[in-house]
Structure 1
């Protein structure tokens, strides 16, 4: 039962991240802290696999491998949302850049035509 609550909370957090979508310094700090936490947990799981099974049992999961799979699925979801948000932001930047370049080129062309007409 505990694992179900934790997974639902993690999925709700993923939905919140997907909806808010803004990159801030706090988001970067949290992301880096979570990354370091996942790496530390991975080292711990490699060195003490029996303890992972015990933790899984405490959370209501039968095996440690199942717990790791659940956590990887949630992590993959967060990574996918993060990549989607980053690609969306890059797309918006490229559109803005293309607009600025088009206006600049149109202005330069109009400027050239004005000088040619004066001659």
Structure 2
């Protein structure tokens, strides 16, 4: 009984933190609904372990633990794919920012160098 309470509490806290996290895509309703479904399924599997075995046999998996393993593999793969896409997007944004900074710095250095090269009075400053 104690382990069920601890597992349910951990699942609910992690689920809440993930929903609350203001990541780039976490505001999407579909992600929140899927996460809510996962939290409900996790709580039910902790409260009723035989439920997982029943679902496993219903869909053709031998044991509930095998179903859990398969589900975890899928979740890890989805997480890796999501993180990869987010990383690619972040690298793209960093590249764009670096280019903008380089262009701005180049314009600044040109504007600082221009008055000395193109002085209307010549190199002597109008004297001579």
* TM-score tier after normalising by the smaller chain length: 0.7 to 0.9
Structure number with the higher helix fraction is 1
Q: Choose 1 or 2 for highest CA Rg.
A: 2
- Corresponding residue of 1:79: 79
- Corresponding residue of 2:34: 34
CA distance in 1, matches of 2:35, 2:76: 12
CA distance in 2, matches of 1:56, 1:35: 20
Instruction: Provide runs of 4+ in structure 1 moved above 4 Å.
Output: none
Q: Which has the higher contact order (CA 8 A, sep 6+)?
A: 1
Q: Give the alignment's Cα RMSD to 1 decimal.
A: 1.9
TM-score normalised by the chain length of structure 1: 0.74
Q: Counterpart of 1:81 in 2: which secondary structure?
A: helix
- CA shift, 1:115, in A, is 2.0
The size of the alignment, in residue pairs, is 96
Q: Which 5+ residue runs of structure 1 have no aligned equivalent?
A: 1-22
